[in-house]
Structure 1
Amino acid sequence: MTPSVSPLAQAVVLARKDLSVDRRTGEVFGVVAPFGAVALFLVPLGVGAETALLTAVGPALFWLIVLLFGVLVTMRGGAVDSPAHRALLHLSGVTPRVRLAGRAIGNTALLLAFQLVIAPVAIVLYAPDLGGWPWLLPMLVLVAAGLGTLGAFADLVSEGLAGRTTLGPLLVTPITVPLLLGAVGVIDATRYERPAWPWLVLVLAVDLAIALSAAWCVRHLEDQT
């Protein structure tokens, strides 16, 4: 009798598959990350080399680039999932919830790496105040988790649709506004010596709401399959 595989183990295997595919294609680090770095570089060309202005707007621009280009990172996985591959997963007993969890884990790992790649570029170009950097470390994880789950859910519900490349970003981008506000709020709080933990709690609550809502909505996909 073949032992059953737990849903968590299935999700981890799917996440490793997504990471392996991206490592072979090089889409995130060979295409998206360089364009994100270029976007950070273009802003000083537009506003000038005024150090005070760049220092003030740099952190917000970093998070804006993370969220906008992060949508591209999270939506790239569904493009390689063929109907035959999805049918094979269904026959293997992999539920949509497990697929959602696996894609979210993979997205979170890629987004964390994406942030770590472009963060040095932002530091060099904008010279931000890094006095409260310990608060930024958990924020990097929370933003990656929230955006990764959002992208995984949008990818799952839009698969098979002709306009999925347009529908996905339209679903994800508006909901990332609380993540952007929380990330920028932490930076402002540390700059003006105010408590930063409320912003972390806000983003954590948003992440939990996203995860619970996605898990509840994807149940209808399970009923359809």
Structure 2
Amino acid sequence: MSAPAVTPLIQCLALARKDLRLERRAGEALLVTAPFGATALLLAPLAVGTDTPLLRELGAPLYWLVVLLFGVLVTLRGSAVDGPAQLALLRLSGVGPQVRLVSRVLSNGVLLLGFELVLAPVAVLLYDPDLTGWPWLLPVLVLVAAGLAVLGALADALVSGLAGRTTLGPLLVAPVAVPLLLGATGVMQATRYGRPPWPWLVLVTTVVLVAALLAAWCARHLEDLT
């Protein structure tokens, strides 16, 4: 009896589980990066002072800014884990660049969502923001995590092996992730003032779809770059 075929989906899930197991052992995202993000949220009120109304206004934007800046670091850990030897082994095993990219997106998405959920209570405790319409926050958390996961995985693949990887990666991701920041903040502001949040949700969804299409188009050319 022949062995069952290993489909690209099975390969993606296996590689994503491998990344998550490595993260669980190292704790780089939730045990190192998340405390730095919480510290950034803590330092902002010290700079603003005791102006409570201003802090409530700044709570949501600062939360999403920290998620964007520190979330980029979470997505760029891949090239530090998968060295030339690991990449060569994956190629010999028949794992293509498309599968590697999708698996990285899946693992990044899970880690970023966990990162957002860890920082959210910290932001609520420090800033006491107006949480009117908070159910809209749930799809925004997922969409922002997905968008950053795709952009980070693509940038990670592009700068893999370069000496300035840790500098070039954030420079590539941060500018194109600005619409995610604007859209996430816009949803919270819209629900707070009783306006429909759909336009901002459409903006975030569009960014995610465009990033996914760009990654799918670039994936076929990544083998020559890595």
Matched, 1:170 2:171: yes
Matched, 1:204 2:205: yes
Partner AA of 1:85 in structure 2: Q
State the alpha-carbon separation in 2 of the partners of residues 17 and 181 from structure 1: 33
What's the offset of the Cα at 1:29?
Answer: 1.4
Residue aligning to 1:102: 103
State the alpha-carbon separation in 1 of the partners of residues 132 and 192 from structure 2: 8
State the alpha-carbon separation in 2 of the partners of residues 161 and 2 from structure 1: 39
Q: How does 1:151-170 map to 2 (within 5 A)?
A: 151-170=152-171
Partner AA of 1:182 in structure 2: G
Q: How does 1:1-225 map to 2 (within 5 A)?
A: 1-222=2-223
Mark the runs of 5 or more structure 2 residues left unpaired by the alignment. Answer: none
Partner AA of 1:214 in structure 2: A
Partner AA of 2:58 in structure 1: V
Per the normalisation by structure 1, the TM-score is 0.97
Give yes or no for contact 2:157–2:222 (8 Å, CA) kept in 1: no
Partner AA of 2:120 in structure 1: A
What's the offset of the Cα at 1:222?
Answer: 3.9
State the alpha-carbon separation in 2 of the partners of residues 125 and 29 from structure 1: 19
CA RMSD in angstroms, aligned pairs only: 1.2
What's the offset of the Cα at 1:220?
Answer: 1.2
The one-character-per-residue Cα deviations of 1:2-42 (angstroms, maximum 9, x if unpaired) are: 33212111111111111110110111111100010010000
Give yes or no for contact 2:42–2:126 (8 Å, CA) kept in 1: yes
Give aligned-pair identity as a percent: 66
Local SS of the residue matching 1:194: coil
The one-character-per-residue Cα deviations of 1:159-192 (angstroms, maximum 9, x if unpaired) are: 1111111111111111100100100110110111
Mark the runs of 5 or more structure 1 residues left unpaired by the alignment. Answer: none
Partner AA of 1:29 in structure 2: L
What's the offset of the Cα at 1:224?
Answer: 6.8
